[in-house]
Amino acid sequence: MTDDSPVPFWKQKSLEELTKSEWESLCDGCGRCCLVKLEDEDTGDIHSTSVGCKLLDGQTCRCADYVRRKRRVPDCVKLTPEGVRTIKWLPPTCAYKLVADGEDLKWWHPLISGTPETVHKAGVSVRGKVVANEMDVEVEDLPEFIVAWPNKVPKGAR
């Protein structure tokens, strides 16, 4: 018996070959990339915090103004194929990173599960983990919010 199912686009194409809609659909909606990060000036290490970007919706884990995000948050990082391969702070669960590394999407990814809720049920998203909005935290207080979980794969996602 053979499987005649079509091969998913992320297994057929490189990141550079994806259409805009394919690229956008790879985002699992976890919101981890929208957490405020701090760079250690001495070591260059990047530390994630539990503080969200001012545009991060903590319930949907999506940008509240995605189309105009670069205008509203000038230092917002727009992911590109090159960036996916070089940005060190992308979480290990990031679909862009997985595909770039030749791996498949995980069971909880909406393109696999058919629903955006699985990313939350698996504990991958920032839902319930963002403790503040960047507008509510003084810059000098941000180190108090450094957390390790954004750089780990949750047990429920394995």
pLDDT at 152: 95
Kindly state the tokens that stand for 155: 């047990």
Spatial neighbors of 152 by CB under 8 A, at least 6 apart, are 91, 92
pLDDT digits (tens, 9 = 90+) for 5-51: 799 999 999 999 999 999 999 999 999 999 999 999 999 999 999 99
Residue 59 located in a structural domain: yes
- Which stretches of 84-153 are assigned E, i.e. beta strand? 132-133
41-48: long-range pairs with CB below 8 Å, 24+? 46/88, 46/89, 47/143, 47/146, 48/89, 48/146, 48/147, 48/148, 48/149, 48/150, 48/151
Residue 4 located in a structural domain: no
Give 40's DSSP letter.
-
Helix (H) or strand (E) holding 8: none
* Count of the separate structural domains present in the chain: 1
pLDDT at 33: 95
Decide: 32 and 25 in contact? Cβ < 8 Å: no
From the CB of residue 45, how many other CB atoms can be counted at a distance below 10 Å?
Answer: 11
Residue 3's pLDDT band, with cuts at 50, 70 and 90, is: low
Half-sphere exposure in the Cβ direction for 155 (13 Å, CA): 0
pLDDT at 1: 54
Residue 8 located in a structural domain: no
Residue 144 located in a structural domain: yes
Residue 4's pLDDT band, with cuts at 50, 70 and 90, is: confident
pLDDT digits (tens, 9 = 90+) for 96-151: 999 999 999 999 999 999 999 999 999 999 999 999 999 999 999 999 999 999 99
CA distance 59 to 117: 11
Decide: 90 and 97 in contact? Cβ < 8 Å: yes
What pairs with residue 52 in β-bridges? Answer: 35, 133
Range of the domain at 43: 17-152
